[in-house]
Amino acid sequence: MRFTKMQGCGNDYIYINCFKEKVENPEKLAIAMSERHFGVGSDGLVLIMPSEAADFRMRMFNLDGSEGKMCGNASRCVGKYVYERGLTEKTTVALETLGGIKILQLHVKDGIVESVTVDMGEPVLEAAEIPVLSDKHPVIGETVEILDRKFDFTCVSMGNPHAVTFVENVMEYPIEKYGRVSECHPIFPDRVNTEFVEIVDDSHVKMRVWERGSGETWACGTGASATAVACVLNGKTDRKVDVELIGGTLTIEWNAEDNHVYMTGPAEFSFDGEWLREV
């Protein structure tokens, strides 16, 4: 089975073109291929598929085999893949995900997709829809005790659940210790992606993420989007902000007019390969 490894800001997934390949058990395949010693090594698996509702359909699976409803970095990579591999000539592409149809704007120069802007839609702030067990609306400053610390979480769904907390000196922060426990905390019935955010100034923050189902990754597009929303809700930044991640920077704008979040960033091919193992 042919596959392609791609990354967006270092959030790396294995992409399978399901117009050509048949995947019977994506959950199992995601676990096997993502494994870094016996597999290819990645944060998860992404299937590029035909759609009846949009131009293409994407399904994404975390490293543990669980299915994510939306993935910001993968959606930009799918945009690059379908254009540069000749599956479409469109530069505005509608992508069906479990989190709804997302519109990708491809920024193309000399046949190369240099960056992609994704309309991530409106952030969901209702506790029950995120979901998080909280009486607050929106869920700002929900205090949660994790191990020896208390965190004030702002919770946002971007098609998938996020809990954002503000910390000092994020690059030194022990996010594995706290993110791992936060992921499965009982106030998050579907588990959660946790963003640890340091404010630099009104238009620049630094973020690290502990992703549900994959652990620490070098970037998270839905997480960066949720972070921008949380920053505005907490009066910490402007509506347009550069989110600096371990693997690069995403520009996120929470548009005041249509209430949509727009994410702009890179997408890159790493290599093509052939998977030889049975799963």
| Residue 117 sits in the site that holds ligand LBFN2T5F (CB under 6 A) | no
Q: How far apart are CA 199 and CA 128, in angstroms?
A: 28
3-state secondary structure of 222: helix
Interaction of residue 212 with ligand LBFN2T5F, rule CB under 6 A: yes
154 binds ligand LBFN2T5F (CB under 6 A): no
Please give the size of the binding site for ligand LBFN2T5F, defined by CB under 6 A.
17
Residues with Cβ within 8 Å of 123's Cβ and at least 6 positions away in sequence, in order, are 156, 157, 158, 225, 226, 229, 254, 259, 261
Cα(53)–Cα(145) distance, rounded to whole angstroms? 43
Catalytic residue among 71, 77, 155, 231: 71
In the annotation, is 220 catalytic? yes
Please report how close the Cβ of residue 148 comes to ligand LBFN2T5F at its closest, in angstroms: 26
With H, G, I as helix, E, B as strand and everything else as coil, classify residue 204: strand
Residue pair 165/195 in contact by the 8 Å Cβ criterion: yes
CA 116 – CA 214 distance, rounded (Å): 24
Using an 8 Å Cβ cutoff, are 152 and 185 in contact?
no
User: Is 25 annotated as a binding-site member?
Assistant: no
Which tokens hold the place of 149? Answer: 């610390």
Q: Is 11 annotated as a binding residue?
A: yes
Least separation in angstroms between residue 210's CB and ligand LBFN2T5F is: 9
Q: Which of 77, 155, 220, 231 is the catalytic position?
A: 220
Cβ neighbours around 170 below 10 Å, total: 20
Rounded distance between C-alpha atoms, residue 75 and residue 103, angstroms: 9
Looking at the DSSP bridge assignments, the partners of residue 101 are: 96
Instruction: Establish whether 72 is an annotated binding residue.
Output: yes
Cβ 162 to ligand LBFN2T5F shortest distance, Å: 8
42 touches ligand LBFN2T5F by CB under 6 A: no
**The only residue of 39, 68, 123, 248 in contact with ligand LBFN2T5F, by rule CB under 6 A:** 68
Which of 42, 62, 194, 237 touches ligand LBFN2T5F by CB under 6 A?
62
Q: Taking CB positions, which residue lies at the least distance from ligand LBFN2T5F? A: 68
In the bound complex, what is the minimum distance in angstroms from residue 262's beta carbon to ligand LBFN2T5F?
Answer: 14
Give yes or no for residue 34 binding ligand LBFN2T5F (CB under 6 A): no
Binding mask 69-88 for ligand LBFN2T5F (x = CB under 6 A): --xxx---------------
Return the number of the residue (71 or 111) whose C-beta is nearest ligand LBFN2T5F.
Answer: 71
In the structure encoding, which two tokens stand for residue 192, read together? Answer: 């959660």
- DSSP 3-state helix, strand, coil percentages of the chain (rounded to 5)? 20, 45, 40
Token representation of residue 219: 């970037």
| 255 labeled part of a ligand binding site | no
H/E stretch holding 240: strand 240-245
Q: Is 169 annotated as a binding residue?
A: no
Identify whether 9 is a catalytic site residue.
no
Q: Which sequence positions are flagged as catalytic?
A: 71, 220
Annotated binding-site members for substrate: 11, 62, 72-73, 160, 193, 211-212, 221-222
